[in-house]
């Protein structure tokens, strides 16, 4: 009997240790959105949408495995007329699957993962990706391959006299990032240069705080043969309606044209237990296709552990009244 009790205790202890090396986090949000379009020829929309994210992380020594999953309601996408596909997005339930480890002093990351949002290019994923990195003389040296002969890249990054700097060399161009803080003002410069003529992009972001208000100012520019394809311009605009318009046909709401630039300002402060944000975004530099977006967002944590967010958006586009709209979005979200 004693042996059985000891065996049970050991098994329970081993199970607890194993479980301690696995973590699950995630979140869900449900949205009601009413959209009022600027012309009677486009039907107004009442949509209920939802998105659920789940992240599973496992650890064994210095080796980690990450699996990120997401399920999205497809009715959140579509054209300016409000049409779209209903039901759940079953194509990208598992988004990221990768492993990180260290072999002989070399950090290895292998699998599939999102390369991240910025103001210049959209995020992307592809399988069979690998990165190997190490630090030499205070500089991080990274080699990456996107599972293709034309998808290799090398990145050098580190701190130079108080400036966080990185240089990335790819087959068809290069990329620079510089970031620093001076007297409480943060400044970040980002440039993507292409070997293709008139296809360079760049952005500068300034951040600071005054009188309890956080201020962010962004300017992103594209040359005449390329579009800004960022998923985020002071807020998430990742949607099939917010993509690069390579033909300049204005089929979708706020498709950017080649050569269009973006200027944005965001003000953020705390007010009566709420977080209040105001954003103004100007898309310009292509005749008759300027776009202005004004957005107000109020976020409040609830006693239940969820968060309530109410946002109002006004978009005016010069190309056609069919693109103009006002929308009210009410979101209930939780993270765990």
Which contacts of 12-15 are long-range, i.e. CB under 8 A and separated by 24 or more positions? none
Q: Tell me the pTM.
A: 0.84
Domain 31-335 homologous superfamily, CATH:
Porin (2.40.160.10)
Region of 4 please: left (phi>0), alpha (psi -120 to 50) or beta: alpha
Alpha-carbon distance of 234 to 26, in angstroms, equals: 23
Query: Over the stretch 286-295, which tens digit does the pLDDT of each residue have?
Result: 777 788 899 9
Unique residue bearing structure tokens 């260290």:
102
- For residue 3, the surrounding DSSP H or E stretch is helix 2-20
pLDDT at 325: 87
pLDDT in tens, the chain (336 residues): 555 555 555 455 555 555 559 999 999 999 999 999 888 777 888 989 899 999 999 999 999 999 999 988 755 444 444 444 556 666 568 999 999 999 999 999 999 999 888 899 878 888 889 999 999 999 999 999 987 656 899 999 999 999 999 999 988 899 999 999 999 999 999 999 999 999 999 999 999 999 999 999 999 999 999 988 877 777 765 444 445 665 554 444 456 788 889 999 999 999 999 999 999 999 887 777 788 899 999 999 999 999 999 999 998 888 665 578 899 999 999 999
What's the angle, vertex CA 316, arms to CA 281 and CA 205, rounded to 5?
5
Query: Over the stretch 129-147, which tens digit does the pLDDT of each residue have?
Result: 999 999 999 999 999 998 7
Structure tokens at 170: 């790819």
Alpha-carbon distance of 85 to 77, in angstroms, equals: 8
Domain residue extents for the chain = 31-335
pLDDT at 263: 94
């Amino acid at each position: 009997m004693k042996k059985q009790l000891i065996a049970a205790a050991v098994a329970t202890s081993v199970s607890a240790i194993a479980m301690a090396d696995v973590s699950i986090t995630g979140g869900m949000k449900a949205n009601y959105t009413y959209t009022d379009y600027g012309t009677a020829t486009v039907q107004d929309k009442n949509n209920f949408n939802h998105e659920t994210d789940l992240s599973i992380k496992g650890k064994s020594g210095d080796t980690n495995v990450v699996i990120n999953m997401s399920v999205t309601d497809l009715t959140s996408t579509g054209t300016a007329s409000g049409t779209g596909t209903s039901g759940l997005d079953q194509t990208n339930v598992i988004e990221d699957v990768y492993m990180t480890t260290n072999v002989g002093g070399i950090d290895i990351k292998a699998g599939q993962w999102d390369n991240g949002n910025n103001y210049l290019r959209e995020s992307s994923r592809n399988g069979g990706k690998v990165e190997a990195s190490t630090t030499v003389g205070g500089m991080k040296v990274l080699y990456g391959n996107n599972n293709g002969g034309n998808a290799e890249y090398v990145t050098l990054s580190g701190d130079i006299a108080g400036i966080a700097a990185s240089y990335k060399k790819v087959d068809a161009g290069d990329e620079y990032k510089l970031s620093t803080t001076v007297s409480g003002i943060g400044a970040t410069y980002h440039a993507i240069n292409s070997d293709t003529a008139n296809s360079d992009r760049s952005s500068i972001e300034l951040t600071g705080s005054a009188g309890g208000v956080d201020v962010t100012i962004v300017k992103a520019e594209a040359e005449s043969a390329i579009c800004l394809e960022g998923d985020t311009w002071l807020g998430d605009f990742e949607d099939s309606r917010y993509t690069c318009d390579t033909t300049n046909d204005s089929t979708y709401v706020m498709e950017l044209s080649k050569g269009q630039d973006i200027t944005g300002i965001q003000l953020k402060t705390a007010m009566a237990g709420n977080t209040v944000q105001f954003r103004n975004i100007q898309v310009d530099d292509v005749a008759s296709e300027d776009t202005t977006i004004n957005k107000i967002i109020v976020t409040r944590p609830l006693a239940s552990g969820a968060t309530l967010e109410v946002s109002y958006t006004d978009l005016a586009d010069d190309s056609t009244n069919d693109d103009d709209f006002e929308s009210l979005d009410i979101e209930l979200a939780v993270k765990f």
